Each structure stands twice: as C-alpha cells, then as structure tokens.
Amino acid sequence: MRDVAVIGVGMTKWGELWEKSLRDIFVETALNALDDAGVDQIGSMYVGSMSSGLFVGQEHIASLLADYLGQTPVPSTRVETACASGGLAFRLAFMEVASGMSDIVLAGGVEKMTDVNGYQATYALGTAADQEYEGYHGITFPGLYALMAMAHMEKYGTTREQLAMVAVKNHHNGSKNPLAQFPFEITVDSVLNSVMVADPLRILDCSPITDGAAAAILCPVEMAKKMNKPVIKVIGTGHATDTIALSSRKDITWIEATHQASKQAYDMAKKKPEDIDLVEVHDCFTIAEICVLEALGIVEKGEGGKAVEEGLTSLDGKIPVNPSGGLKAKGHPVGATGVAQVVEITKQLRGEAGERQVKDARIAMAQNMGGSGGSSVIHIFERE
C-alpha cells in the first residue's frame, strides 16, 4: 500500500447561496482545489452528497459533476452515508491512491440545502434516521440529540451551561474563519435565551441549514515530494457503523461507531489520543461534540462538558477542537462537511489558517458521522 498525501484543497464561502446551483458550487470549489494542487487532470473522483435528489431534485450527480468540471471520461462516484458522506468520499479516494489504481484523485462533497422550505429540509435530513421506528413517530434529529443530551446530563452531571460553552467556543473560532456561514461571536447567555428547539437544545445549540462544497486532491507521497508540495500525509483511517435507531443502543450517551472507527485509525497511524495536536469533530449539535470527545478517548467518559468549561478544547488549549468553527459556525452542508474538515486540517498543518492557527500543529484528526452516530469516519494526518 502506497503512502498518500493531500496536495490541494478548496472551499468557498458557505451560507445561503441563492444565486448558485449545486453544480456551480461544486465546480468552483473543485477548481480551487485543483489550482492549489497545481494539477489540471485527475484519474478519478468521489463526491459525497447525502440528499441531492430531495434537496434539488437531481440524482446521478457523479456524471453531472464530472461533466461540468471538464473531467469526463474519468470514473466518478457519488458517495452517501448521511452526514458522513464527505468523510467516506475522502476515505475511498485515499484507498484508490493507496492501492495504486490511480495517482491523482479528487475527493469532494457538496449539498444545496436552501432550495427547499424548512419542512422539506427537515424531512430530507430525517431520512438519515430510522424511518419506520423513529421518523414515522415524528421525532427529528434535534429530538434525538436532545434525548442524548438529557441522558448525558442525568448520568454525568453535564450542565446546560457547558452545552452552551461548546457553541460559544466554536463561534469564537468561526469568527476568525472568513469562509464560515456565521463568522461572529455569541455568549452563553445568548445561547441559553435563544429559541427552544427540543429541550434542552436551543437554536444556538444546532448547526444550520447550509449550501456549500469542499474538495481535496490526493496523490502518492513520493509524487507530492517531486512536485515540491507540502506533504500532509494521511497516516490513519477508520470507518464503523452502529444501529441506526437510537433506541436500539445500550447507552445513548456513547457513540460506539466513533469509538470503533477511532481505534482503527489510531492503530493504523500508530498514535494515541494524547499525540493529536488538534481535531475537527462533527458538532451537529453541542452535545455531539461532548460525546465525540469521549468516544475518541480525548477525555474520559462523562468529562466532555468539563473539558469545554476548563478550556481544554479552546484554540489555545491542550487540544483545540474545531478551530474552523465546526458545523455550528462554519455551517453544515451535510455531504460536504467531512471534506471541509480535511480542508481545515490541511491548512492548519501547512500553517495557513491565519488568526485561528494552532501553534506548532503537526498531527491532526478529523471525525465525521452520519445520523445520530449510525456511521462514523475518521482520518489522522501528519505533516512531514
């Protein structure tokens, strides 16, 4: 198996992009990644997209996007595993380069979510849950994560204020990210006094509806060195699943798919949680970040809330979490999120993250997941 590096990344401003189509958003972003890599031809491409059919009425986007990017007849694959679609697209691109099947592969993700109304968007996102046993009975993802939050608060003493501190931290980081959907600061009070969505989660605990795309270019490490590119090496990857229905799990405060995927990634990278300098995690709701930190082994079970309160996960903390602003502030165009995490990590490891740069960053992790944790994809990177 060949060593693999990320040699180019691209991302454009996320938000409510009324004037752009799904294909416009993707092509603009992919061209940025190709320019960053200094290449104009690829051997293959993978695109993560959760629900293009429901959001914009367009399926068969593998062909569509290869066409409009000017890359036909290269093989192009659309990847779907709910909100982890982008992370899995990157993993498949990594595997293709590592196997020797292709030398230069594009991993992208895209979602255009604002072309439908709120009800339709809620329905589309809800298809990532168990439709017969969860969706049919009316529960939505804020409701599922609210159940996880209530259980965590009851079991470990996690406070409502600690949940709010996750949002405050990520908005602080996002205020330093010019590509973020919501690049502004908020306060604990503003979170606690925002509109209730599903008790105890309020609107400022929730990631937004977003239009956006992200892209990365991968190639063998030896090729990257010959191209005089900074070598951001993929040293570990993991992928795991769990029950799709929250009610089928032994402990709804624990995200087993993330735990299992992290074990695979740590083992492959020959690293431990304490070796990681920064991490981008899937904070679709504030409680998600807390639970993920525990599943990754960065903190002990039940300590995720305290870690945020004590500043462990802040930009200048022991292990900065979501320096990009996370899903909460950067935005969450569901199919693109996992690749955007790779974009942020690549910039951080190159030392190109500007005001949100993590000092002396050398090893980083990205954790992307689908639904309420029914699937999870993890990657570990190292700057050579």
Give the pLDDT confidence of 172-225 residue by residue, as tens digits.
999 999 999 999 999 999 999 999 999 999 999 999 999 999 999 999 999 999
* 122 in any annotated domain: no
> In what helix (H) or strand (E) does residue 363 lie, and over which residues does it extend?
strand 363-370
* 201 in any annotated domain: yes
Residue with tokens 């439709």: 131
Rounded Cα distance between 213 and 86, Å, is: 10
> Which of 152, 172, 239, 332 is labelled catalytic?
332
Give the bridge partners for 9, in sequence order. 216
The mean pLDDT of the chain is 97
Listed as own residue / partner, the contacts of 91-97 with beta carbons closer than 8 Å and 24 or more positions apart are: 91/237, 91/239, 91/377, 91/379, 92/46, 93/44, 93/45, 93/46, 93/216, 93/218, 94/4, 94/218, 94/234, 94/237, 94/379, 96/43, 96/44, 96/46, 97/2, 97/4, 97/218, 97/219, 97/220
Q: Are 288 and 215 members of one domain?
A: no
Q: How many independent structural domains does the chain possess? A: 2
Q: Are 104 and 158 members of one domain?
A: no
Q: Are 343 and 322 members of one domain?
A: yes
Residues of the chain by 3-state class (helix, strand, coil), percent to 5:
40, 20, 40
Q: Are 214 and 178 members of one domain?
A: no
Q: Domain ends where: 173, 193, 226?
A: 226
Query: What are the pLDDT digits (tens) for 249-273?
Result: 999 999 999 999 999 999 999 999 9
For the CA atoms of 380, 332, 284, 109, what is the dihedral angle to 10 degrees?
Answer: -40
User: What is the predicted pLDDT for the residue at 357?
Assistant: 98
Residue with tokens 């199919």: 335
User: What is the predicted pLDDT for the residue at 257?
Assistant: 98
Question: Could you tell me the end-to-end alpha-carbon distance of the chain, in angstroms, rounded to an integer?
Answer: 18
* 362 in any annotated domain: yes
* 360 in any annotated domain: yes
CB atoms < 10 A from the CB of 172, how many? 18
* 40 in any annotated domain: yes
> In what helix (H) or strand (E) does residue 160 lie, and over which residues does it extend?
helix 160-174
Q: Is 83 a catalytic residue?
A: yes
Q: Are 361 and 288 members of one domain?
A: yes
pLDDT of residue 228 exceeding 90, the answer is no
Q: Are 201 and 335 members of one domain?
A: yes
At residue 138 the predicted structure's pLDDT band, cuts being 50, 70 and 90, is very high
**Residue 71 is part of a domain; what is its CATH number?**
3.40.47.10
Residue 26's domain spans which residues? 4-117+210-226
**Sign of dihedral through CA atoms 330, 335, 341, 346?**
negative
* 152 in any annotated domain: yes
Q: Are 283 and 343 members of one domain?
A: yes
Phi, psi of 192 (to 5 degrees): -65, -25
**Sign of dihedral through CA atoms 242, 245, 247, 253?**
positive
User: What is the predicted pLDDT for the residue at 36?
Assistant: 98
Q: Are 198 and 256 members of one domain?
A: yes
**Average pLDDT in the 239-247 region?**
97
* 187 in any annotated domain: yes
Q: Domain ends where: 169, 191, 226?
A: 226
At residue 229 the predicted structure's pLDDT band, cuts being 50, 70 and 90, is confident
pTM: 0.98
Enter the DSSP assignment of 110: E
Q: Are 33 and 177 members of one domain?
A: no
Give CA 326 to chain center in angstroms: 8
Query: What are the pLDDT digits (tens) for 311-322?
Result: 999 999 999 999
* 344 in any annotated domain: yes
Q: Are 245 and 191 members of one domain?
A: yes
> In what helix (H) or strand (E) does residue 59 lie, and over which residues does it extend?
none
Q: Domain ends where: 195, 226, 257?
A: 226
Q: Are 93 and 191 members of one domain?
A: no
Rounded Cα distance between 110 and 336, Å, is: 5
What percentage of residues in the chain have a pLDDT greater than 70?
A: 100
Q: Are 154 and 113 members of one domain?
A: no
> Which of 83, 206, 219, 284 is labelled catalytic?
83
